[in-house]
Amino acid sequence: MPSYAYFQQQFVPLAEAKLGIMTNALHYGTAVFEGIRGNWNPEKKQMYIFRLREHYQRLRDGCRVIKIELPHSLDELCQITASLVAMCRFEEDVYIRPLAYKSSQSLGVRLHNLESDFLVLVIPWGPYLDVDKAASCGVSSWRRPDYNVIPPSAKLTGLYINNAFAKTEAIEKGFDEAIMLTPDGHVSEGSGENVFLVAGGKLVTPARDNHILLGITRDTVMKLAKDELGLETVERPVTLDELFTAEECFLTGTAAHITPVGEIDHRPVGKGEVGAITRKLQELYFEIIRGDNPKYIDWCTPVYKK
Ligand SMILES: Cc1ncc(COP(=O)(O)O)c(C=O)c1O
């Protein structure tokens, strides 16, 4: 099945979308990206894009941070993306990658006096981490950058070298994923996920000023926990020993969905298995993202015309 991209204001086959080697963003990480999922529902023969608008709101905020003017409104961005996914006609889960980037063929470290552009591509992409088994995580020696180093609340491509260091360190040490700390040693997030724990019958997750990306899956989980399970989420600084002694722990992210954590730095979390609250949240979440729960259907954008 051929893939397409939206590139330089046109829909083109993915293989034809090529950038020059002088592109500023390639050299200095001067771009903002998003990761969005299209979830295939085989019974309904429909692809549902999950919380599309919220992803573009976050992209727009990131663009403000690095002085990129998007050439499209939020409505247009959503429309372009839905049309692109429809054009690809995949019948499996897909990952959608929008990128707003400093496109000038110009070297020089700066944000000003550079042109920018916007592209989107779609690829088939199954699970990122195994959501059926409890993952093993290692606490990373790489900490999140402070807000006056690189703001970790924006998905800036240059920022992600920090996440790449952490992920590779974790894999090379035999873990599935890294858990990174804030500059002052509190729990922050995974290399591509937010972290939740269950403690004292409540959900706890690092707060917005704990150097995290404000995840859309994080927001989804907090809403579902409250409205469907009657569980409040406390957003606050979390210490490492709290993580080690949690009843349950899980990671959330567009790529990773809701991934249970069974051990951290070789210490079992709870019984080292998928926890009961994690399991309930996973069940709800998977039903919702595939467009099978009418209450939350507004979060899903169907793309195939019937
Ligand atoms: C560093 C980081 N934290 C958290 C997340 C989770 O965010 P979301 O749920 O919006 O995908 C991601 C993924 O985008 C990420 O890259």
Does pLDDT of 37 surpass 80?
yes
From the CA of 179, how far away is ligand 1's center (Å)? 13
The predicted pLDDT at position 306 comes to 78
Instruction: Write the Ramachandran bin of 294: left for phi over 0, alpha for psi from -120 to 50, otherwise beta.
Output: alpha
Task: Encode pLDDT of 174-188 as tens digits.
Answer: 999 999 999 999 999
User: Could you confirm whether 271 is annotated as catalytic?
Assistant: no
The predicted pLDDT at position 278 comes to 97
Residue nearest to atom 4 of ligand 1 (CA): 193
The predicted pLDDT at position 35 comes to 98
CA distances from 118 to 69, 80, 125, 167, 222 (A): 9, 11, 22, 27, 31
Does pLDDT of 77 surpass 80?
yes
Indicate the burial class of 158 (C-beta count within 10 angstroms; 0-12, 13-18, 19 or more). middle
- φ, ψ of residue 178 in degrees (nearest 5): -100, 150
Helix/strand/coil for 254? coil
The predicted pLDDT at position 132 comes to 85
Does pLDDT of 121 surpass 90?
yes
Mean pLDDT of 159-165: 98
* Amino acid (one-letter) located at 264: I
Active-site residue (options: 155, 167, 295, 305)? 155
Does pLDDT of 1 surpass 80?
no
The predicted pLDDT at position 228 comes to 98
Helix 216-229, helix 276-289: angle, nearest 10: 110
The atom number, within ligand 1, closest to the CA of 219 reads 9
When pLDDT is cut at 50, 70 and 90, the band that residue 163 belongs to is very high
The predicted pLDDT at position 211 comes to 98
Does pLDDT of 127 surpass 90?
no
Mean pLDDT of 5-21: 97
Residue nearest to atom 12 of ligand 1 (CA): 192
When pLDDT is cut at 50, 70 and 90, the band that residue 2 belongs to is confident
From the CA of 106, how far away is ligand 1's center (Å)? 30
Mean pLDDT of 3-22: 97
Residue of 153, 217, 221, 224 with the most ligand 1 atoms within 8 Å of its CB, for mutation: 217
Task: Encode pLDDT of 215-225 as tens digits.
Answer: 999 999 999 99
Q: Mean pLDDT for the chain?
A: 97
The predicted pLDDT at position 74 comes to 98
